[in-house]
Structure formats: C-alpha cells, structure tokens
Structure 1
C-alpha cells in the first residue's frame, strides 16, 4: 500500500491506454469473446502481431498471466518501472505475474466508470485449479449485483463480504462513507489496493465474519454478494473463501437476511444475491420464512433454478476441476450432501430488503422471473419501491396516471377479425416484462395521459362496453395496481 507507487501505476496504466476499449481494439472482439470463455490463444496471437507496445506488454502480463521481461515492463510502466511493479506485488523478480490486473468499465447513474481491478491469478494463468484462499475479480455475479444497486445518496453504506472491493467502489459513488468487510485479510488488502488505485478515499476496510465488524452500527445502504454457494461439509471438498460461507446448505443467506434489520437505518435498503434450496417445500417459500421472521419490506426475484446435478457440475468446474477421478469424487460428495438433506433443486436470485420508516412492513413480493432483462435494474428497483409507497397512501381510483415511455402494446388478430384476440403490454427497460391484459385494462391504459382519473376513464370505457361502471372499475383496479408497481404506469 505504497500510495506513491500506486499513483505512479495509475498514471502509467492510463498513459498506455490500458482500458476495456483499448484492449478490445488491441486483440479484437473475437479474442475478447474467447477470453470470456476461458481461452487465451486468440488474444496471444493478436498480441504477437501487435508487438511490444506498452498496452500489449501489460495485457500479456496482467490479463493473460504470461511472463514479460523486466526491460519490457520498464518501457510499459515508465513511471513505476519493473522495480515498482515488484514492490507492489504485481510481478516477481523475473517478470512473471503474481496478480491479475485488468480494466473494468460500465455506465451507472453518475456516468462512465473506468477502473482497474486487481485480483488473484485465475486457473488460466496458474495452469491448475485455483487455491481455496483465491480472491476473485469481477465475475458475472459481481456485475449482476452492481447493476441492481439503488443509487441514492446515503451517509453510510456497508459492503458485506467485499472480495476485491468492486461493490464498495460502486456504492462509494453515492455514499459519503463506506465500510467494507471480509473474512479474508488478502481480500481486504486487494480491495484497499483497488480503492487506492482508482482514487477512492471514503472506504474503510474491516476484517471479520458477517456483521461482527459492524456490531451496533446502522447503514443507509447494505450490499452483499455473499459466499452463498451451497458446498458439502465433507473432508477433502475445497472451501473457497470467495464463494463458501462455511455453513450447511443455504444457511449463510438466511443468516445474512436475519441480521439486516438491526443494521439498517429506517428507510435503509439492503441488496444481495443468494441461493436457496428446494426440498419438500418451495424454495421461495423458504425465503419467505426468512423474511417473515424480520420486520423488513422484501422483494425477492428468483432468476434461475437448477437441478442439483447441474448445480454441482457448475461449481465444481468453477473451482477449476474439469473432469477425471477428482471431478467424480467431488460430484459424488455434492450429490450425497443434497440427497441426505432432501434437496431437489437450487434457486438463485435477487433480494431487495428495506427497513420501513414507520416500523411496519407493507411490501412482501416473491416472484419467479427468468426472462431476459431490459438493462440495468437499479433505477427500476428504486422506482418499484417508490410506486409501492405511493400506493400505500393513494386512492388509485382517484389517481391520474401516465404510461411509462418504454411501454408498447402488442395486438394479435385472427385473420379477418376486427377485434384483437390477445393484447400484451410490453416494457422496454427494467425487467422487460410482457403482461397480457383484457380489453378493459388495455383501454384504461391507452387513455391514461394524466388528464383524467382512473375512475373517469374506467366509467367511460364501461359506457362504451355497455357494462356496469363500478363492476368494471373493481375488475381493472388490481391489474392497474400491478402495472403501477411494475413500472408500466406512473402517477
């Protein structure tokens, strides 16, 4: 944590054009796609053609995990130099990489994010399975969680299980102060390094398990990509710190949910990813029992469900074991564990929880939704919470609603028919939902331009359809409420 050396590294990385766009330009879209599949040969071939430019040297060493000469490092890092890179632990004395350091870019509510993230070398660079104390870089789960974050100004925030620190940095863009915790000293060292490298000075790092390092403290925003992977508690099964919380089954996620209430400020929001088991009961019902033992508002979305066989295969491969006797032994241990506890499937999804300002939970929404999304969800989740709160105090029949700008209507007709047989409202952003509606609801939505109340529009539609106006209003109100909560209609 030599801040002068870290600052020199940042200047050299920027000067070399060591960015996501810069690397894509260097080796092309196809090689980038191959790297995402765990294959580096196309990128190596492209770098061989590119020569010894600073960006190519840095890409070889820090992204592909290939050795480079100290002389090449001196040219690629003119301010830091090879000696400085060794001092920071990036390479050894011969120029062989000791860390993975790669650019990261995304767009959030504040604009374009362009950072560099250090983590431990992966199996591609190591040539074998990763060790149990591996510190993971930015993976798919990390990017999923960062896309969910509600971006609202808070005084303090907590990143529970920070890993390489990526979520802490995202939250530090809207929180005055962030506390980041982890059970791994190495993870905290790398997270602190990443924060310094990217210019953050409002993140505090603390060692400890779950909420122990923040006992008695409350936060306006809590985020967590916890080690939720369900791992057999059997001798010889690797326990990777970045994904395994050391508890049986899905108890780790249940424990996190149980501890949130006393660490959230009134109105504070917690967001996390998690797995839950399907035994004889429904997995989402298990999550419901966790939530109902708290006083928290909750919106839980199950995005995926896997059979235990597929789940075991996924996470054994994630650790770097691909096939052979070791794979079969681990596979047996996983299936034995699931069979012993009667687990049939494992669900994965998003949990958004909030401590009510009035002390009474009013939002309890549990749903399965596996369709493709319409983009980043942070603003949409914030909008759902706001819409729910508005509905608690509003009289919907008196409200004047407008249709969200990303909503379209789709109509299906039998050949030659004058009237549609199917009406579907489609959402372009957020969860990109498609909701079938009846003629009455479609007519009310179509006329909702903010000028007339729901009651006035419904009564006019009832007149056109020659039906009782109060009956039609009673019919459409529940569906309109769902359309407001899910963002199709706005007050």
Structure 2
C-alpha cells in the first residue's frame, strides 16, 4: 500500500486512541507531563506501569505513548490493537517502527500530539520527528530532524497572522512553521537542505490534512531564486559552531557558515524575495566583536553595500534598505553559549564535553567574540512609493513579556499598523485625533505616607511585551483623559491651563511621547483612522 492509503489510516487510529495532549495528561498526570518536558521519563513510566496493573488490557494511547514518546519497544500484538486500521505492518511501511526481536517493535521516529492557540483559535496536530536523546540514550546524530522545541514555539507565537497570498519557510525542519503559516497563507513554500527533513515535513502536512505547502530542497534562498513572497518565516540553523571536523555539525541548527554569517545571509538576501510591504520574521544569534556593539553590525546588515549584495543576492539587485524591528532577549558569554549548545547535542560532562568546550572557546577567542546575543528579527520591505525605511528599532528586552495566550503575532501587527499611521501623520492631524487607552493598560502609583501627591507613577502593559513606562504629571493626565471622546490637542490644552504652563511647550513635549505610546500599544486609534 502507498502512503496515500496508509496515512489516513494512521490519522484515524491516532484520533480513535485519543492520542492527544489531554489524553496523555490523563494517563500519567500533570507532574509526569512536566517531567517529560524536562526530558525525564521515569514519572511517566511509573504512571503507565500503575495503569497497566489496574486494567486488564493496554490502552491504545498508553501503547503509543510508550513507543513514540518514551522510546520503548512494544509487542506487535499491542501495537496492532493500538493501530487497528494501520496495523504494525503499515507502521513498518511508513518507517515509523522496526522489528525488535520476533514479537516486538521499536520506534524509528518520535510521534507526539502538539497543541497551540493562535489568532485563528485553538488547534492540534500530530508531529513526527527523529527520536530525541531520551529515546536514543546517546548524543544526537548530525542529520537529526528536530521536533518542536522552545525556539519553534517562540517563533510560531511571533508570526504575524495577517492573511497573505504566498509565504516562505526557510529551513523548515519537521515543517512546523510552514504548517502554522498555512493557516494564514494561501500557498506556502518550505525549504530545507535535508532530504529527510523534507520527507518528515511532508508526512506531517499530509497526516494533518494540510494541502497548501510545497516542499523544495536547497539552502536559504537558492530554491526560490527570482520569486517573491508576502511573508518569510525562518527558524534557521543559526547556532554558532566552530568549523572543524572534530566538532559535530548538526543540520537542524548549524548552517555551515562561520560565526553569525548565516543570519546575516538571510537578512541581506531578504529584500530580493519580498513583495512591497512583505515581512520577514526569524530568530537569530549575533556576535559582539571586541569593543563593537552587536547592534552596529546588525545596522550594517540592514543596509548592505553593493559588494555585499553581490555575495548574498543577485548582482543586479537594487533593493532598498529594510524596515527593521529587532529585539535582543538574551546575551551569553562565550562559555555560557558553548555549554548550552554542547548539552543540546546530547554530550554530557566528561572528556568529550571538555574537548568541545575548548573548541568553542578557541573559536570565539580567535575571532574576537566576547558575547553572543539572541533574539527576534522582524524586517519589512518598504512600499515602492516610500523606498526609505521608516522603522528602525533595535531594542534590548531581557525580561519584558506580557500575557499573550495566542502569541505576540497580533500585537506585532497592531504595533506595525500604529507605527505606519503615526509615521504618515503630521502633528496637526495627530492633535485632532481621539485616542483610547488600550484595555490591558494599568497605572501604578506610589505615595509617601501621609502625602497626597504620588512620588512614582508608572504605566504597565498587561499583554504585548509587558512594557512599563514612567509617567510625569502631564503624561499621566493625558493618558487618563484618552477615552475616545476628546482629541489629543483638546486634552493638552486643558492640561496646560490646569498646570499653568505654556500650551505650545507642553504640546512639543507630549506629542513625541504620544507617538511612542501608540507604537507600543498603550494607546489605540479610532477604527476610522
């Protein structure tokens, strides 16, 4: 039988077995579930063993969980019962399992449920990837196809959900970002350098009945030369790895370039593959060299010189500089960075760990790298009528993060729209506009005992990036009066009288701050703006 026949049977069996996040949590409980997230399977094993002693037969979900999540062999009889439509033979034909002795099978892949909430609502899929370190019992192979990790969830939560015609996922891996993009794009192109990654990604799309993704083999923009997209998404292999045969080069995280050159290549090449107003969203690392701030290097990537364009894009490129909003969420020392990624590959403390540690530190020292930043990049091609970038925002936000059940994508979209409105609106028009305080915004005040006037006033954002803004009396009064009824100019005029200050000077002071509060989502525009 072909995969076109077998995959629907697998889908039907997984659904009938209640092989879902709620179903698995019901089997082994919240604590065991949390332990699995930490790569510890003992609590889940114990819970399943207790379950087996209480019931006369193995539940299908328990069999599938032992096999595909815990990486343990199961009997052919139990797997036939868990997958009655597909059967063990069908699972072997799909390369999900292989024989383990005469009457058992062992897993060849990790297969698990995945749940999410985005701007389109709640959803759930089944995701196939390569077996992890927990099931393998040894370090990962260099061609390992990663499942859904923290970085995958971070990026999918950042993706702007605006409907588009064409989207591109660079370095698709198991296909998770392409699948998320399929919810807001009519057509998705997903690329990867790994034949196996593309095979598993295509399996995941078919298993979850997603039919608008096209898979292509190749590196970065090579498979889409001459094509443009409305939305480009990438969780690229950005990990900075020492170049040398003695250091493992994992396809899922290492793009084969020196330092942070792969992220630079994506940034420099993006403009030639975007439609006007098209957006790129990716995760990345960037290096701090000697005394140079990493943001200085990022600025150079955003405005490539002609000779640099030739290295990363067609020689005839005349693409404009990109709008950019870059957020650095973390900075690590060379040692911290090396430890993180050596452990990620499954190497534990010992002589091999020390050898790799030295290789990383030698590489950083030789190239003058003193720190490594990690964060999010949002880039946009300005419309043809406004070729110069209007947005150039590079921020460090190590702790800021609000409550965003459906992710940050919608917030980013709203912030971009607010930025565009205020960038195209002069002060006269702004002063005539009625603004409203966003519903997630609160104000905090601190007083000295017995005093009527506050000593500290702060505006807090509950969602978005959870920003906090210090307030003075005038700004606090303006924000407090933004209820959608009074124009900004009228509020400032009233405040000038109340505070007995010059209205023109107060206007000059407050208007730039109003623009900032708009862009950050503290204030919102009327629907007619």
Coarse TM-score class (shorter-chain normalised): over 0.9
Of residues 68, 81, 84, the one that matches 2:74 is: 68
TM-score, normalised relative to structure 1:
0.99
Please give the residue correspondences for 1:100-249 in structure 2 after superposition, counting only pairs within 5 Å.
100-249=110-259
Q: Where does residue 42 of structure 1 map in the other structure?
A: 43
CA distance in 1, matches of 2:175, 2:123: 14
Structure 2 counterpart of 1:26: 27
Q: TM-score, normalised by structure 2?
A: 0.92
**2:480 is the counterpart of 1:454:** no
| Displacement after TM superposition at 1:372 (Å) | 4.3
For residues 182-237 of structure 1, what are the alpha-carbon distances to aligned partners after superposition, in whole Å with 9 as ceiling and x for unaligned?
00000000000000000011100000010000000000110000000000012210
Show the counterpart of 2:375. Answer: 349
Q: Distance in 2 between matches of 1:366 and 1:292?
A: 14
Partner of 1:388: 419
* Residues in 1 aligned to 2:146 and 2:152: alpha-carbon distance in whole angstroms: 10
Q: 2:223 and 2:153 mapped to 1: Cα distance?
A: 25
For residues 454 and 220 of structure 2, what CA distance do their matches in structure 1 show?
Answer: 55
* Among candidates 393, 396, 410, match of residue 379 of structure 1: 410
**Deviation string for 1:54-110 (max 9, x for gaps)?**
000000001111100111000000110111111111110231000000000011111
Deviation at 1:48, TM superposition (A): 1.1
Separation in 2 of the partners of 1:215 and 1:235? 31
Partner residue of 2:391? 363
User: What residue number does 1:2 align with?
Assistant: 3
Q: Tell whether the 8 Å contact from 1:60 to 1:66 is kept in structure 2 after alignment.
A: yes
User: Does 1:283 pair with 2:294?
Assistant: yes
**Contact in 2 for aligned 1:321/1:327 (Cα 8 Å):** yes
1:118 aligned counterpart, secondary structure: strand
Looking at structure 1, the residues matched to 433 and 368 of structure 2 have their Cα atoms a distance apart, in angstroms, of 49
CA distance in 2, matches of 1:290, 1:417: 52
For residues 152 and 190 of structure 1, do their structure 2 counterparts lie closer, same or farther at Cα, with a shift above 3 Å needed?
same
Q: Give ranges in structure 1 of 5+ residues lacking alignment.
A: none
Q: Which of 380, 395, 398 is the matching residue for 2:432? A: 398
TM-superposed CA distance for 1:430, in Å, is 0.9
The CA deviation at 1:38 is 1.0
Task: Return the alpha-carbon distance in structure 1 between the equivalents of residues 438 and 62 of structure 2.
Answer: 46
Give the aligned partner of residue 469 of structure 1. 503
Shift of 1:445: 0.5
Q: Is the 8 A contact 1:284 1:302 kept in 2?
A: no
Q: Structure 1 residue 78 and structure 2 residue 84: aligned? A: yes
* 2:443 is equivalent to residue 409 of structure 1: yes
* 2:303 maps to 1:292: yes
Superposition misfits of 4+ residues, deviation over 4 angstroms: none
Rounded Cα–Cα distance in structure 2 between residues aligned with 1:438 and 1:64: 56
**TM superposition shift of 1:439:** 1.0
Equivalent-residue separation in structure 2 for 1:326 and 1:143 (angstroms): 31
Q: Are 1:56 and 2:35 an aligned pair?
A: no
Question: Which whole-Å CA distance do the structure 2 matches of 1:129 and 1:192 have between them?
Answer: 26
Q: Secondary structure at the match of 1:401?
A: strand
Q: How many residues align?
A: 491
